[in-house]
Amino acid sequence: MKAGMSIMKIRRVAIVIAVLCYIVSCTRPSDLDLPKHTPALVLHGYVQTGDTFRIALGRTFPSLGNAVKDSSTYVTNGWALLYEGNVFLDSLKYHPLRKLYISSRKAEAGKLYMLRAGAPGYTSIEAVSNAPFPVPSISVERKQGARRTISGNWLDDLSFTFQDPPAERNFYLASVHGRGSGLSCVYTYDPAVERYSTEAIPFEDGFCMDHDEILYNDKTFDGTLKRLTLSTGVGVLDSFRDGIGTVYRSYAKRYSVTEDYYRYFRGSHTYPLVEGGPSFAQVLGTKGNVKNGHGLFTIFSVVTDTIR
């Protein structure tokens, strides 16, 4: 019986290998009829209310999976114009050291902004973003040793209470930062928080969310008083006093973001709200808000709470 079973297993493995070999032989790069790449402009602009407008302008290029990130992806001879609604505000100036197009104008909450950009040899692009108002915290509470993981490790709870604005869709991103390097992820049961993976099981060791990628919206609590609870490793949010008496405390940021950013972040999961050189590879399946091009122009507001 055992010998018979071994022969059957060998036969099944041989069949699988043969099928795989056939599939691979039929999908060699030389057999694929790939569409011709048409270069297009890429715009990335992540602007905080109260800050000046700064955008990166680049171009797409054909890639077989490995995005190239060097100076050749940036467009240095382009132009970018800023509008409030349809009223012209400013022409952004290119900064060669920072590789950004910069305006002296600052984003104001509650206003609608439009960017138009272009470069020789490319179709001009356009993107629009509203500037959301910040939503302040009513209270921030920390409860030490509030619960345990499945394996029995203790967790601290961090809860934020805030009033969600009524009669409008609101989108949020939260991040929690420890005073040291011990904080890498958080847990939550809250159904409003997006799950990026089926492995993000609350309170199971190793299956948690990145501490700076907590994305949620008000679909389930529109216009009400909301309490969001996140759990972290016990003690990682403790304050720290150095040798000269300076106290360092952990903190949390809650961003009010646009729907465009919310959907883009959820789809690509690769563009955090930090300044840095973007990759201008032609990304498939992730749609931003740039007409005739790629990328994302978005404005956000942020509230920072110190954790005690």
The per-residue pLDDT for 2 is 41
The per-residue pLDDT for 281 is 44
pTM value? Answer: 0.78
The per-residue pLDDT for 162 is 98
Q: Per-block average pLDDT, block size 10, for the chain (308 residues)?
A: 42 41 44 68 96 95 57 88 97 96 98 98 97 97 90 90 96 87 77 68 67 92 96 87 86 96 78 41 65 96 94
The per-residue pLDDT for 267 is 76
Domains defined for the chain, CATH in brackets: 41-132+270-300 (2.60.40), 137-256 (2.60.40)
How far is 117 from 114, CA to CA, in rounded Å?
Answer: 10
**CA 165 vs CA 55, 102, 305: distances in Å:** 29, 32, 19
Cα angle: 74, vertex 103, 77; to 5 degrees: 30
The per-residue pLDDT for 24 is 41
How far is 54 from 275, CA to CA, in rounded Å?
Answer: 9
How far is 135 from 133, CA to CA, in rounded Å?
Answer: 6
The per-residue pLDDT for 273 is 41
The per-residue pLDDT for 72 is 74
